[in-house]
Amino acid sequence: MTGQDAEEKRAEAPPDDAYRPSMLFLAVITVVSAAADLASKGWAKAALSGADKGRPKSIEVIKDHFDFIYTLNPGGAWSFLRSLPENLRRPFFLFVSSAAIVFIVSVYRRIHRDQWAMRWGLPLALGGAVGNLVDRIRYGSVIDFIDFYVIRNGREIHWPTFNVADIAIVAGVLLMALDTFLSRKTRGGLGEPVPPAEPLTASPAPPSPLPPPGEA
């Protein structure tokens, strides 16, 4: 290896003090969000499931708009794919949840110092994914208990019942989308200073032609 090649290799290598995202921060936010989800699901199961499984109890929080009601959701967030057969649905969601966890951790290890939205969004999404994965392993379904709805013309129009894990996942995805938007804005030059223009210098005057012989 020549001296020039060695210099180029040293220039390309990252500095010793390069930013490394805190794995402790990732673990703490993930554990807190997953614990909040599992604790709330435990409360919902104990307080709302009732003796009659076909007719769960409910708690009215905001009249005609917001209730707590115990349900088991075999599908994904917002009841996605809940009609899929059990022998396909459960392995599918277990695989998707596990793959999402691996993907989130791998992306988190590569974020930069200024990506604050991604630094919060990834652990929140990871905590939500872990919370729902624990439910799928234990019950084959996910406990949902947050029910928003409105009443129009005497009919109740419900948003699909959800849980704290779904809230964490949606918040994480929104933060990741915000990070993508901010990154594109920076790459477009809106967030970077414009480099100063080089000063204009006058072109040197061309040399004057030599006079013909006899005219000097």
Tell me which residues are annotated as active site: 144, 166
Q: How far apart are CA 211 and CA 9, in angstroms?
A: 56
Q: Are 144 and 69 in contact (CB under 8 A)?
A: no
Q: How far apart are CA 142 and CA 71, in angstroms?
A: 8
CA dist 125 to 52, 146, 187, 188, Å?
A: 34, 18, 26, 28
b (16+ CB within 10 A) / e for 153-182: eeeeeeebbbbbbbbbbbbbeebbeebeeb
